Structure 1
Amino acid sequence: MNRIDMLKSRWRPEWSQRSDLSKLSGAFHKALHFIETMPKTRSELAGPGNLSPKGLNDAIRAVAAEKIVPDLRRAMWDAEKTANGLKNDLLRLAVPRQHDKSDLAGAMMRAEMRGMLREMLKGSSEEVGERLRIIMQEPDFLVAAFEGPAQLSGMTEEFRSDLERRMIEQAHGPAVEAINSAKEAVDLVQAAIEMAVNTVRHEGDFGNDNFFASWMATASAEVEREIAAEKVKAEAPKTNAEALTAGEDISTKISAIFAARLKPFELSADHQVAA
């Protein structure tokens, strides 16, 4: 099984049927198409035998710059937007942690509950398990448990995170399953895009990292401007919760693929390399 067949075998048919993953599906298949066609394009250009090695490289690079790199950058952007959407979906399922700061009576009651929780979570694992079951059925206790550091409720942060995960899965099982499935699709698209970028590099016979990065930045510059304009148009003030979780953006992993290749940057004079 070659690398393209391996990627295809991992793509689930249901992903192509999901309306929320339609652009992701398009990005995946577009990346596969480029992985397949780049070697063929080089062979076709080399066929007549009238191009020097440098001329052949220039020709394949011209095709890639015009017809492949811009589409790959758009594909990556579609994957990034899907990933951000999944992050927001997860945030909506999370246990609320914001409270009315002016409600002193409510704050005092939750403090008392946390004291009770500390006592309830002492004992054998069987006793703790039974008490957790009770806690998960009492909304007031849950609100108290997720306010402030986990230690205030007699938990570790890891234990509370696991509790939250189980609560979300219990209350929103189908939604969590759909989100996790979509995450797998995003990861697969990431792999396909990375493979397509490496194919461009190989078939274009780029031998220098800095030159390839500079060339990719130039080839994708127009798409970068389109993306920047779209981000400005869609930008809105962040809520407190979003601001706190901004550093955990799922799309960071995907953006890393193009970090050294598609983000415009300046090369110092002594690092410039001629084609």
Structure 2
Amino acid sequence: MNFEQNIQARFKTEWLNNGRLLPYHLTLSGAFEIAGKITKKRNELKAKGTLSDKGLDEAMREFVTKECIPDLARSRCKLEASAEAVTAKRQALTIPKPDKGDVAGALLRQELRAHLRSMAPGDRAALLMRNPDPATIAAVFEAPNHLSGIDDQLRTKLEADIVAASHPEKLKEIEVERECINLADIAINHAVDNIRKATGYEHSNGKAFDEFMSKASAPIEAEFAKKGMPAARNVEDMVELYKAMNKQDQNDFIARWVSGELDPVQQQAA
């Protein structure tokens, strides 16, 4: 199993049946298609024998600037926006805040914090990590650490455990989406590495290649900065359609996806 097959295999079959996750597979597959196209073009030009090494590098730079980098830049922009959205989803999974209008509850939480402060650090940590009751949790998280005697490390660990116990399904969805984003990002980086090797930058300093990529990607990045990300596309109806396609049609579909052709039309404000 080669590198691309290994990454493809890590994208689980059930994720392909999920309209929310399918776009990541399209991005992944599209990046690998681009990587293959780069290698094929380089081999074709070299086989002709009409170009010097320098001429071959220049021809490949022109080719990838027109035919490959825009699609990769577009995919990268979408992926970065998706990663930010997933981070926002995770941050939204928080511990419920207590009712500020409940005076009796507020007094109880104050007493609980005083009790926690009076405990030895080891006993305090053991109590909090041993399935504490909701009132104790609320007492700890509505106030600064020093009022209950905990530190940042314990607070972070406690919060992670409580969120995991309170939102197991949502947390699992987030972790799966993060893995899909990671796999798509690996594929994009693989295509970028192919560009580096095929354009004569393999043995040059990284700065020169970064400048080349930045210049070629700039128009797409400016487009996204100006227009913003397109509205989230409802791809549920695309799942069965994609699965029913033959291999050639799937490849065409992937190419249309990475080129932005399947993005939803922006609605103009009235």
Superposition TM-score, scaled by structure 2 size: 0.73
Contact map agreement 1:121 1:154 (CA 8 A) in 2: no
Structure 2: distance between partners of 1:167 and 1:214: 45
Q: 1:82 Cα deviation (Å)?
A: 1.6
Structure 1: distance between partners of 2:155 and 2:52: 64
1:54-97 CA-to-partner distances (Å, cap 9, x unmatched) read 22212211111111111111111121122111111111211256
Q: 1:47 Cα deviation (Å)?
A: 2.2
Aligned CA distance change for structure 1 residues 55 and 119 (closer, same or farther; 3 Å): same
Secondary structure of the structure 2 residue equivalent to 1:19? coil
1:155 is aligned to 2:153: no
1:226-269 CA-to-partner distances (Å, cap 9, x unmatched) read 121134999xxxxxxxxxxxxxxxxxxxxxxxxxxxxxxxxxxx
Specify the alignment match of 1:175 in structure 2.
170
**What percent of counterpart residues are identical?**
29
Specify the alignment match of 1:89 in structure 2.
89
Structure 2: distance between partners of 1:212 and 1:94: 42
Specify the alignment match of 2:78 in structure 1.
78
1:32-53 CA-to-partner distances (Å, cap 9, x unmatched) read 1122221111111222222222
Secondary structure of the structure 2 residue equivalent to 1:95? coil
| Counterpart residue type for residue 209 of structure 2 | F
Superposition TM-score, scaled by structure 1 size: 0.72
1:162-185 CA-to-partner distances (Å, cap 9, x unmatched) read 222221121211111111111122
Aligned CA distance change for structure 1 residues 154 and 175 (closer, same or farther; 3 Å): same
Structure 1 residue ranges without an equivalent (≥5):
235-275
Structure 2 residue ranges without an equivalent (≥5):
232-270
Counterparts of 1:196-275 in structure 2, within 5 Å, are 196-206=191-201, 207-231=204-228
Aligned CA distance change for structure 1 residues 13 and 127 (closer, same or farther; 3 Å): closer
Specify the alignment match of 2:18 in structure 1.
18
Contact map agreement 1:69 1:220 (CA 8 A) in 2: yes
How many residue pairs get aligned? The number is: 229
Structure 1: distance between partners of 2:196 and 2:116: 58
Contact map agreement 2:112 2:136 (CA 8 A) in 1: yes
Specify the alignment match of 1:184 in structure 2.
179
Q: 1:125 Cα deviation (Å)?
A: 8.7
Contact map agreement 1:16 1:22 (CA 8 A) in 2: yes
Specify the alignment match of 2:248 in structure 1.
none
1:37 is aligned to 2:37: yes
| Counterpart residue type for residue 189 of structure 1 | A
Specify the alignment match of 2:240 in structure 1.
none
Specify the alignment match of 1:243 in structure 2.
none
Q: Which stretch of the first structure deviates more once superposed, 224-233 or 31-40?
A: 224-233
Secondary structure of the structure 1 residue equivalent to 2:184? helix
Structure 1: distance between partners of 2:125 and 2:212: 62
Structure 1: distance between partners of 2:121 and 2:214: 58
Structure 2: distance between partners of 1:96 and 1:194: 39
Structure 2: distance between partners of 1:177 and 1:2: 29
Aligned CA distance change for structure 1 residues 183 and 208 (closer, same or farther; 3 Å): same
Aligned CA distance change for structure 1 residues 158 and 127 (closer, same or farther; 3 Å): closer
Q: 1:200 Cα deviation (Å)?
A: 0.2
| Counterpart residue type for residue 115 of structure 1 | A
| Counterpart residue type for residue 144 of structure 1 | A
Contact map agreement 2:78 2:229 (CA 8 A) in 1: no
Q: 1:195 Cα deviation (Å)?
A: 1.6
Specify the alignment match of 2:247 in structure 1.
none
